[in-house]
Structure 1
Amino acid sequence: MSNRTVCREASHAGSWYAASGSQLNTQLEGWLSQAQSTIGPARAIIAPHAGYSYCGACAAHAYKQIDPSITRRVFILGPSHHVPLSRCALSSAEVYKTPLYDLRIDQNVYADLWKTGMFERMSLQTDEDEHSIEMHLPYTAKAMESHKDELSIVPVLVGALSESKEQDYGKLLSRYLADPSNLFIISSDFCHWGQRFRYTYYDEAQGEIHRSIEHLDKMVSQRFRYTYYDEAQGEIHRSIEHLDKMYTSDCCFLSSCCVFQAVSELRTSGTEMKFSFLNYAQSSQCRNWQDSSVSYAAGALIVH
């Protein structure tokens, strides 16, 4: 029997981010130096998963809120882009490679999650094809480099879940979210606008197209900010019901649903939390129907 460690290669290095460890390190340090640690330490962050040339600066605002001195385990939840899933899936690898250093998957947590019967196993090929988790690996490695020998990760690929499954995963993950040594990363882009995305909603009252997109993304931020924190916000809930009908970016909702259901679960026990958005960006500013863009946001969840 072979004892060879199963490794997931950094398959998007060289295209979505720098393959050179020194170049990547310089880029990450530059972006992080421009961000402020304003509300940490974070228990969960939301950050984009696009190419670093588009969203690296935005993501830094979320990663700046991490305290490596208390974080020992990082859960990374990313939406599935290439394979249909009705559940969540765990990796077949033991180690995720990055140009900075390798990240070890927490096999004890994986074993506990697998025992629940709630997870599928993704193939190594599926894992390496998917970018939503990988794009957070270099930033995780950089943010945690001072305690890298004590670090493990728990990658989870999130499918298109029913509301009842969202609640089930939220209940399961809430006990991990309650532990201050755990950090959750929500991998999420926001609005994908343009004919190539088959989404061209435009509210002329907001001005130019990119302003309409920003207004829509800010409405989405209200979903994050209020849905699980103040259930008495009736107007917010009515606007969200309308929003769900016109906002088509599954990237935004899939990877966040499990974590915010876990937040909702913890709130019932009296745990006080606050979610704040820290930065917003667009890949380009759309001004006509031939343009396209993807929106990015960085945020952090603080447990008081």
Structure 2
Amino acid sequence: MPVRRATHAGSWYSDSGAELTRQLDYWLNQADLTHGPARAIIAPHAGYQYCGACGGYAYRQISPVVVRRIFILGPSHHVRLSGCALSNTQKYKTPLYDLHIDTSINNELEMTGQFEWMDLDTDENEHSIEMHLPYVAKVMENYKDQFTIVPILVGSLSPDKEATYGRILASYLADPKNLFIISSDFCHWGHRFRYTYYDRSFENIYQSIESLDRVGMNIIENLNPIEFTNYLKKYGNTICGRHPIGILLHAIQEILKNDTSQSASLKFLKYAQSSQCRNVNDSSVSYASAALVID
């Protein structure tokens, strides 16, 4: 089986293991453990100079002593998929060390008939999964031979499809040994993103963007997938990981439906913007980190 190269190393993040370790240590140390141990996190996937610090708040909530399998759900930016695709490789390279694919889980998921396979070019061109791998490698470094990963590329899904994948993945999310990473940036604002929503009750555009994002973040914290879908329809907010987030929300609902003794709490821990938009010629991308705890 082929090996997926770290194709964005050296551009989106450092290709030096020593430098990358220094950066990740710094960002993790800036965050406190306030909502863990996380069963799932939501974290951004932009270049580390923009979102590395924000991502640290999500990764700080992980308990590596517990986790033995990590599902990474990232949106497809370059290839149109009507469903979800699995990685047809043996391992993913990072500047720190290689991460091994859980082929047995891949086979289980394929048996559902709902998954296809990514070809290597699609896999290596996409950044939404890769940008989480250095953080995974860093957090899990003391257990590097004791865990596997399950990368899942998520296409453009209908609400019904999100619910289908949520039901399929709920049993995995229910297992405390599994961690789910939901890869998503938030609002992409500006003409280059073809999105310029502005609530003029705010003095500045960047304040309107943050307000819009926080409305969506509050809905996600409420764990209501239908309300989240309605929010996206109403505002059109360009949250690129909206379908992975939708899958997570449906999976949580499935767990709570099947076991009424359990409770779930999702909290956003950090919010940031790549820049502050003040006029219509500006642009920015928003980043948010969250953690899910299931008791």
> Contact 2:223/2:253 (CA < 8 Å) preserved in 1?
no
Q: Give distance in 2, aligned partners of 1:243 and 1:211.
A: 19
> Contact 2:137/2:144 (CA < 8 Å) preserved in 1?
yes
C-alpha root-mean-square deviation of aligned residues, in Å?
1.4
Q: Give distance in 1, aligned partners of 2:277 and 2:256.
A: 39
Selected match of 1:281 from 272, 287, 290: 272
In the other structure, the counterpart of 1:297 is 288
Selected match of 2:43 from 23, 47, 62: 47
For residues 1-304 of structure 1, what are the structure 2 equivalents within 5 Å?
5-228=1-224, 237=227, 241=230, 243-268=232-257, 269-270=259-260, 271-304=262-295
TM-superposed CA distance for 1:245, in Å, is 2.4
Identity of paired residues, percent? Answer: 56
TM-score by length of 2: 0.96
The one-letter amino acid paired with 1:140 is V
Secondary structure at the counterpart of residue 251 of structure 1:
coil
> Contact 1:191/1:247 (CA < 8 Å) preserved in 2?
no
TM-score by length of 1: 0.94
Alpha-carbon distance change, 255 to 244 in structure 1, aligned in 2, over 3 angstroms: same
User: What are the ranges of 5 or more consecutive residues in structure 2 without an aligned counterpart?
Assistant: none
> Contact 2:66/2:176 (CA < 8 Å) preserved in 1?
yes
TM-superposed CA distance for 1:250, in Å, is 4.5
> Contact 2:100/2:149 (CA < 8 Å) preserved in 1?
yes
> Contact 1:206/1:215 (CA < 8 Å) preserved in 2?
no
Q: Give distance in 1, aligned partners of 2:159 and 2:232.
A: 17
Figure out how many residues of one structure are paired with residues of the other and give that number. 293
> Contact 1:194/1:289 (CA < 8 Å) preserved in 2?
yes
> Contact 2:223/2:266 (CA < 8 Å) preserved in 1?
no
The one-letter amino acid paired with 2:237 is T
Q: Give distance in 2, aligned partners of 1:169 and 1:227.
A: 16
Secondary structure at the counterpart of residue 145 of structure 2:
helix
Write out the 4+ residue segments of structure 1 that deviate beyond 2 Å after TM superposition.
239-245
User: What are the ranges of 5 or more consecutive residues in structure 1 without an aligned counterpart?
Assistant: 232-236
Secondary structure at the counterpart of residue 204 of structure 1:
coil
